[in-house]
Structure 1
């Protein structure tokens, strides 16, 4: 991994990588500068919440971790990764205190708004390196509108494991504290599988495995996935579609009411979404807003595959390819290279962060609609225990 200077423009200066397969190589990643801090958060008991049918809520709170940090950052870019039931990110030293405070606010808000226990912690990069790990970052250009951060080096996984032990927990904010979640929404329909199944894939290297051995396997996996129609993209061209009222209206009302009446916020969203539904259905433009172009960009900008020390993907997959992936992974697992989980479901879902509907930099975080990454990761936990 290369090393850049420690200024806060580190992430902006990273080169954009347009070929996903290049991200399997360690040479694509640059080490975080000295002084930077890793933040990480996840929902306690997500498996139980999924079993109770609350996974869309779990996803929304996981995405809220990211949107709260983006809004608190005042528009400055920083690397982050969405994990389904949580998220991780890295911030420069001058934003570390604010970021920690926001994590504490998120913990309070998740509890008071949804009765969810959110774990959250912060780890200086120096502490991670002292433990023998590294955090490398790359920028993957998903489309002309957005790029997403990819992580390697093992440090992110170490931080997440320490967080789950209660280390460096972000202090809980005062009762009633509210995060700024402007732009967070979940208005799109779920996207049904078109090729048989939506396959959630979670692959993690075993401790102390040679990086090249893991890279070789993930390269094979990515090559197989590229043989799928549209590379396994789970959202259809032209976006996943809309209906009225939208399926995530109640969750969005909770996320955006900012202490106001929940009933009133639902009414406001019903009216606003009815207007949006009209334009999407008719295709009519409203000033600079072009609904057809926006819907195309939803699919183009979708974050459906990522590296966060391991590999996560949400794929529209056929049974033959799924079996081929399983065979490769079982062989590599038998050689002590990795652990993996595969979870099949019927639909994919999307949670969004939209700073502006007339720009192309809106973010769309994709996961399986019936448990996705959390259910696939649970298979790994079960195998370990």
Structure 2
């Protein structure tokens, strides 16, 4: 199967800062597809208090795509209310079936409408829209994808418009998705200062070199205000606690037992509570088992988060004081006035963690967002600022 190992075979870039150099990125093969999935009217759902449901559906989409063929590594980025992925042509039909499964899960279990579609890379290239990718090693077993090029944004626009894309109809054919590895077992993590900032920055120059410089300047500004990444990371070992509330654990149960009997759902929920109790005991005593080094699991978890990511926009979740947040917004406003960028930010009191676990011994990825719709609401603010420029 040609090109299926394209992403897996990319040499990881040495750092997130290095990944801002888009010259180091590689074009997606023409026969690959960009997959876009997002919750329709997510802002309204968040306003009604359904932010955790929105996050759950977004990560469930990633699980559905990743589980089509675990032998392949596929690039995906979580956007808060959805996800962007890339797949080889050989996975197109299985992906459509899996996305239908995710759409039905969203509707039946969470009362949400999930929009999904695919756009062929060659079609984007024919319109002069480029889709480029790189990857960074968060740890030896976990890679974070990095996207660049206007093709990703163009694909999202096509899917949202329902034109120029292969749209996925939840009732258009067979639907079957595996959500294996989806977990949501941690309490929300409170701010260690004042707030959790969900930040999105888009450089707005027509010149790629100028945009790259803008992103580097933003990263330098964040370092100046907040210190090194560890100083503003939204997770810390002393703030991470396993959840035991049935309400907190309901999302995972609904995802992992979708379409199953009530007895199966009850059994899964009970087993999850027992596993969390065992986890609490292992973590408290730093005990390792033959299969998993639980004494290091939370350290790996902090390392394997998507706290900083880039998909043509810089996205971050930071722990911040009110003074730091105000200073950052002052600097961003000045850059916006100078025509360099647009930005959106949302303040939350807590961070929400949703997980995708292939193996508890190192191969696990964790998705971070503001607890009350951070990225989705930051994106709304960003769009308003971009509209001001038009």
Instruction: Specify if TM > 0.5.
Output: yes
Equivalent residue, structure 2, for 1:378: 380
1:81-230 correspondence to structure 2 within 5 Å: 81-167=77-163, 168=165, 169-173=167-171, 177-206=175-204, 209-227=206-224, 228-230=226-228
TM-score (norm 2): 0.91
Equivalent residue, structure 1, for 2:285: 282
1:232-251 deviations in whole A, cap 9, x for unaligned?
Answer: 21111467222434763100
Whole-Å Cα distance in 1 between the matches of residues 331 and 218 of structure 2? 8
**Residues 117, 287 of structure 1: alpha-carbon distance in 2 compared, 3 angstrom cutoff:** same
Equivalent residue, structure 2, for 1:42: 38
**Residues 340, 234 of structure 1: alpha-carbon distance in 2 compared, 3 angstrom cutoff:** same
Aligned length: 378
Tell me how far 1:229 sits from its aligned partner.
4.4
1:26-50 deviations in whole A, cap 9, x for unaligned?
Answer: 2121111121110010001111111
SS of equivalent to 2:344: strand
Tell me how far 1:183 sits from its aligned partner.
0.8
Tell me how far 1:161 sits from its aligned partner.
1.2
Q: Does 2:273 align with 1:270?
A: yes
Tell me how far 1:226 sits from its aligned partner.
2.8
**Residues 13, 239 of structure 1: alpha-carbon distance in 2 compared, 3 angstrom cutoff:** farther
CA contact (8 A) 1:108 1:176 kept: no
Q: 1:51 aligns with which of 47, 52, 59?
A: 47
TM-score (norm 1): 0.92
Q: 2:335 aligns with which of 291, 309, 332?
A: 332
Tell me which stretches of 4 or more aligned residues in structure 1 moved more than 6 Å: none
**Residues 296, 173 of structure 1: alpha-carbon distance in 2 compared, 3 angstrom cutoff:** farther
Tell me how far 1:173 sits from its aligned partner.
4.3
Tell me how far 1:72 sits from its aligned partner.
0.9
CA RMSD, 1 decimal = 2.1
Whole-Å Cα distance in 1 between the matches of residues 296 and 239 of structure 2? 10
Tell me how far 1:51 sits from its aligned partner.
1.3
1:226-375 correspondence to structure 2 within 5 Å: 226-227=223-224, 228-231=226-229, 232-237=232-237, 240-245=240-245, 248-260=248-260, 261=262, 262-357=265-360, 359-375=361-377
SS of equivalent to 2:67: helix
SS of equivalent to 1:286: coil
Unaligned runs of 5+ in 2: none
Whole-Å Cα distance in 1 between the matches of residues 295 and 97 of structure 2? 39
1:5-35 deviations in whole A, cap 9, x for unaligned?
Answer: x622211221212321112222121111121
Whole-Å Cα distance in 1 between the matches of residues 94 and 10 of structure 2? 24
* Bigger mean CA deviation after superposition, 214-223 or 313-322: 313-322
SS of equivalent to 1:76: coil
**Residues 104, 268 of structure 1: alpha-carbon distance in 2 compared, 3 angstrom cutoff:** same
Tell me how far 1:344 sits from its aligned partner.
1.1
SS of equivalent to 1:72: coil
CA contact (8 A) 1:245 1:274 kept: no
* Bigger mean CA deviation after superposition, 68-77 or 240-249: 240-249
Whole-Å Cα distance in 1 between the matches of residues 382 and 221 of structure 2? 22
